[in-house]
Structure 1
Amino acid sequence: MRIKPQFIAVLVFLCSVQLFSQNKLDSSKKDLNSSSASSSGSGSTSNSSSKESSEVDDEELGFFAKVFFDVTFGVFKYGLIGDYKNEDHLHSSLTPYPYYNFESGNYRNVEDSIADYRLRFDVVAKFVYNDNNLFGSHLKGKVRVFQYFSIQTNYHQLFEFNKLNRTTDQLALFYFNVAYDRIRFEKFNLGWTMGASYVGNEVRKGGFSYGLLTEYFMSNHISFAAAIKWSQVNSQPVNAFELESRYHKKRGFFSIGYERLKIGTPSYNFVTLGTGIYF
């Protein structure tokens, strides 16, 4: 039986429609909802291992435990927290807003006679654009409870339009983190974040999140900010990177930048336009 070329063409068309009707947001959702493959290798334990462990000298075990504790404590204290006795920049005061005195960024020297600000709110709203079929918004809020730690949240809302079946798909991504600025100079700050991520809509799963953030302030009311967050949801990557320049005007600013999201297998690249306010 001879198959007609028209029939083959119809099959190819239907297969292509089925293939391309699944957009990137659909792929991300399926990746995050797929059950993670667990390869549990069962190792056999022998009686000889228990005999060997019993032969370990208590003094050697105590020595290695002390070394491990000292190294871990040193990395945590000096690497993540800092030495408040010898690093003067760690005592820098939080500013009411960047360039309040035409030169300082988020922090100022302790010699400044202006009263210390222990509480500050930073709110940012950005429009993210890939093309006419993929765009969204990014809202950020940061509460600087006092000059050392802050609490911040990120809310990404993505929309994707499918031309083939004329449907619009959505995906919501959240980050909830505690942030700590490890370096606090007048023109430059660098810190880390730690918390949780959550993907909404049909996924409704969360995971552990950690990252880095920094901002450099120039002398013409322009700053450059960058942040990166790593996370995993159902053993799939949920990462976010952003880089932007900001023009500051009193308690507000305008920004233009770039964002990249990786949610499951797909990656998303966006141009961003935004505005923010400090109060």
Structure 2
Amino acid sequence: MKPITLLLLAYFMVSNHGFSQGKLEKAEKSLSKKEESNRSYNNSRSRLRTSNNYDDTYLFGDLLIEIGAIITYGIIFEAPGEAEYAASTASITKYPYLHSKKGNYSYDWGEDAALFRTTLSTRTVVENAKLYGNHLNADFRFFKRIGFEADYLQLWEDNTFFGDNSLAVYIFLAKYHRIRTERFDMYWGLGATYVDGEVDELGFTYGLGAELFFAKPLSLEANFNQAFINDTTVNKFNTLLNYHYKRYTFSGGYEHLKLGSVDFSTFSAGVGVSF
């Protein structure tokens, strides 16, 4: 009986450890993994041996690159014909719905326009009673088209019998507001993400976002960020319904996080102020 008892105890301890591992701990371990492989070095050496075979195609390749660059510039920044439209010179508003149905941009320079705008916000995210977090966000708009965003996400997970876990994600994004109309605007951005804790890594990040001012005082907002950490990604997507009251914005909606191989589906609610 003693061997059976020992086996049962060992099984119980292993099973208990598996159940005790929280989602944040799993996410940290997933993001911390690095694939050790020499394939990239072998591939580069192989390319060096065969590079002479491609010399004749360089001229044609350069031409395609130049054409692609012109098309890409028009898509990413502004096509030549767009300069004729009012949205090309739209100004930043002091805050949405100041004196009219305008959102983040105004075609005319007036009392509601500004050269620079800062929006500070805080949002709580909750998946369940034991897993929750908070966003602190600073968003800056200037020179009509340019922006910068800093986002700090702190997550906590309560584990009753095995201690608590926490994880923080810092996102820094330089943004270009590609579409700027009075009712709709859209941006793309490039930057970096840092994940602290056991991960302790910095990775390249890109982001996309848009906001539709469909009926005063409401707007619908969506944002997506993806960061490359080690051999996996950190994805963040949210969709928010915003209620604008003077300089304040009250928001609520859904936020999905994917940290490595672990998914988090959360409810999000918060408040922001523009000045």
TM-score by length of 1: 0.89
Runs (4+) of structure 1 exceeding 3 A deviation are: 1-4, 6-9, 43-54, 112-116
Residue 66 (1) aligns with residue 63 (2): yes
Q: Which residue in 1 is equivalent to 2:86? A: 88
Deviation at 1:253, TM superposition (A): 1.4
Identity across aligned pairs (percent)? 29
What is the CA deviation profile of residues 131-175 of structure 1, one whole-angstrom value per residue up to 9, with x for unaligned ones?
A: 11100101111111321101111110000011232x111100010
Q: Which residue in 2 is equivalent to 1:177? A: 173
Structure 2 counterpart of 1:262, from 246, 258, 264: 258
Structure 2 counterpart of 1:149, from 119, 142, 146: 146
Partner amino acid, structure 2, of 1:268: F
What is the CA deviation profile of residues 154-200 of structure 1, one whole-angstrom value per residue up to 9, with x for unaligned ones?
A: 110000011232x1111000100011111111110011011000001
Deviation at 1:67, TM superposition (A): 2.5
Tell whether the 8 Å contact from 1:90 to 1:182 is kept in structure 2 after alignment: no
Q: Which residue in 1 is equivalent to 2:20? A: 21
Tell whether the 8 Å contact from 2:99 to 2:112 is kept in structure 1 after alignment: no
Deviation at 1:47, TM superposition (A): 10
Tell whether the 8 Å contact from 2:97 to 2:216 is kept in structure 1 after alignment: no
Aligned-partner Cα distance in 1 for 2:230–2:221: 30
Structure with bigger gyration radius: 1
What is the CA deviation profile of residues 60-118 of structure 1, one whole-angstrom value per residue up to 9, with x for unaligned ones?
A: 6434312211212321x2111013524431211110000001310000113x5337411
Q: Which residue in 2 is equivalent to 1:52? A: 53
Residue 251 (1) aligns with residue 250 (2): no
Segments of 5+ residues of structure 2 without an aligned counterpart are none
Aligned-partner Cα distance in 1 for 2:161–2:49: 65
Query: Alpha carbons of 1:206 and 1:46: their partners in 2 closer, same or farther (altered >3 Å)?
Result: closer
Equivalent residue runs for 1:1-279 within 5 Å: 3-4=3-4, 6-40=5-39, 42=42, 45=46, 49=50, 52-53=53-54, 56=56, 61-75=58-72, 77-83=73-79, 84-110=82-108, 112-114=109-111, 116-165=113-162, 167-279=163-275
Aligned-partner Cα distance in 2 for 1:213–1:52: 43
TM-score by length of 2: 0.90
